[in-house]
Amino acid sequence: MNQVILKKLNESVRPDFAMAKRVIAVGDVHGQFNLLRDLVENQIKFDPTSDVLVFLGDYIDRGRSAEDEIAVLNYLIDLHNGNPGKIVLLRGNHEQMAINAISNADCEEEQWLWKHNGSKLYSISDLAFRSGLVRFCQSLPLYIEDEWVFVHAGAYPNIPLEKQPESVLLWDRTENNFGYFDKRLIVGHTPNQIIQKTEKIVYVDTGAFYYGCLSAYDPKNDTEYSARGPARSLSIYT
């Protein structure tokens, strides 16, 4: 691979959810660059004058190549930096795996976990890239709360978000149908072939890698969007 460049993420500006005409949550991208561009530009037709996009994490791993995964990151960084207060990038468990593996280079368990969950970036040894990836991933919040609660995996229903275990926010698959207090949870992480909605929780991940479908959901207008490509198979899906 030629020189690897990961752009720098600017400091985030909190969106004004109340003023947005559309608030759209995007499911797990997993390195599917073409699906990401199609979804944002052709299906959602993102309008920064009226929209807020909330990406639910898991941007990396399982892409066709390291180049595709880097392209996803740089695309999202450009989108975020060019539209202050309009783009939210949350952390997923795969970003956390990258942090853990790079920050604990001597831990075989952390190396195995990241590598064997589909990482293409694992093979990049460039220290500047690796440190930049850790900084990027660590800068991503675990949740954002407004009329709804957006989080990668899930949350306990009656514990304040700031007191929730990180493992629950990033990894939970208990299929919590209780929501969060009186608010609806909007989550990724758990793949379904279509968006799953209940009164208390919405599962947005439709398996961009696994089923070839990257989806998004606007809870403000109860509207779904999707971009489709060829389905692929995977023995481990985390």
With a cut of 90, say whether residue 178 has pLDDT above it.
no
Per-residue pLDDT tens digits for 112-136: 999 999 999 999 999 999 999 999 9
Q: At what angle do helices 127-139 and 93-103 cross, to 10 degrees?
A: 140
In this prediction, residue 175 has a pLDDT band, given cuts at 50, 70 and 90, of low
Question: Position 192: which residue type?
Answer: N
How high does pLDDT run on average in the chain?
93
Q: Are 65 and 120 in contact (CB under 8 A)?
A: yes
| The pLDDT value given to residue 129 | 96
Q: Report the pLDDT value the prediction gives residue 234, as an integer from 0 to 100.
A: 52
Q: With residue 205 as reference, give the H or E element that holds it.
A: none
pLDDT at residue number 230:
80
**Contact in structure between 213 and 206 (CB atoms under 8 Å):** yes
Running DSSP on this structure, what letter comes out for residue 12?
P
pLDDT at 6 > cutoff 60:
yes
Count of CB atoms situated within 10 Å of the CB of 156: 17
Q: Using only C-alpha atoms, what is the Rg of the chain? A: 17
Given a cut of 70, whether residue 236 has pLDDT beyond it is no
Which secondary structure element, helix H or strand E, spans residue 112, and what is its range? helix 108-115
Would you kindly state where each structural domain of the chain is located, as residue ranges?
Answer: 22-228
Fold of the 22-228 domain: Purple Acid Phosphatase; chain A, domain 2 (3.60.21)
Confidence of residue 179 (pLDDT cuts 50, 70, 90): confident
Enter the tokens of residue 122: 């694992």
Instruction: Name the pTM for this structure.
Output: 0.95
